[in-house]
Chain A
Amino acid sequence: NAGVTQTPKFQVLKTGQSMTLQCAQDMNHNSMYWYRQDPGMGLRLIYYSASEGTTDKGEVPNGYNVSRLNKREFSLRLESAAPSQTSVYFCASSDDRNQPQHFGDGTRLSIL
């Protein structure tokens, strides 16, 4: 029962470095999402993929890119990391927009 798997769990980057956060789900869900969670704020949607082959911007997309590699995998890329992107990143999936989302356990990213 893996559900949603995120890698890595922790990462420290220097300003300007790039990296890709990986996410895979084994529930055959159509929709996948990337969120960030910052202290004192609710989760905010970065990008989502309603179905395989489509991606759309969420509330806070600037500085990020995504790829829906196949139905299982949805990656998030930081091209040039900035300290403001220090956060906990969660990937989630669901059957469709009206169904509960299943979350991974997050990637804790620090940018120095």
Chain B
Amino acid sequence: KNQVEQSPQSLIILEGKNCTLQCNYTVSPFSNLRWYKQDTGRGPVSLTIMTFSENTKSNGRYTATLDADTKQSSLHITASQLSDSASYICVVSAGSGTYKYIFGTGTRLKVLA
């Protein structure tokens, strides 16, 4: 069964600290892996998208890594800001010829001043 599991479910950190969010997947065949940020009451916004051959991709203070062998990805947030408070969603696209996207349930991050 295709699944995407994220951990932790929720996380609280102080402003300025770093954090890492995890994503494990059992999706086959694999096409690409995406990270989205979803603010409360808003739609998801794309942060990164990585194919099988890419093992790291950055977008400002956000850095995503992908280990296709172990089927794990992480999203590292550097020097967190209050505006980073949001849900972070990992999505795996199954197969390059399909429109099949498996969404994780997200990690809810709260950054405190």
User: CA–CA, A56 to B99, complex, Å?
Assistant: 9
Is A45 in contact with B43, judged by CB distance below 8 angstroms? no
**Given A100-B49, A103-B43, does the pair A44, B99 have CB atoms closer than 8 Å?**
no
Contact of B103 among A43, A48, A50, A104 (CB under 8 A): A43
Interface-located stretch among A12-20, A65-73, A79-87, A90-98 = A90-98
**A97 touching B93 in the complex, CB below 8 Å, given contacts A41-B105, A42-B105:** yes
| Interface range, B side | 20 to 34
The number of inter-chain residue pairs (CB within 8 angstroms) is: 53
Query: Are B4's CB and A92's CB within 8 A?
Result: no
Q: How far is the CB of A71 from chain B (nearest CB, A)?
A: 17
- B60 interface residue, CB < 8 Å from A? no
| Number of A residues, CB within 8 Å of B | 25
A105 touches B41 (CB 8 A): yes
Is B22 in the interface zone, CB < 8 Å from A?
no
Q: Are B43 and A106 in contact (CB under 8 A)?
A: yes
A22 interface hit (Cβ, 8 Å): no
Partner of B106, one of A33, A42, A105, A106: A42
| B44 near A42: Cβ-Cβ < 8 Å | no
Residues of chain B from 12 to 56 with CB closer than 8 A to chain A in the complex: 31-32, 34, 41-46, 49
Which residues of A come within 8 Å of B, CB atoms? 4, 31, 33, 40-45, 48, 50, 56, 58, 90, 92, 97-106
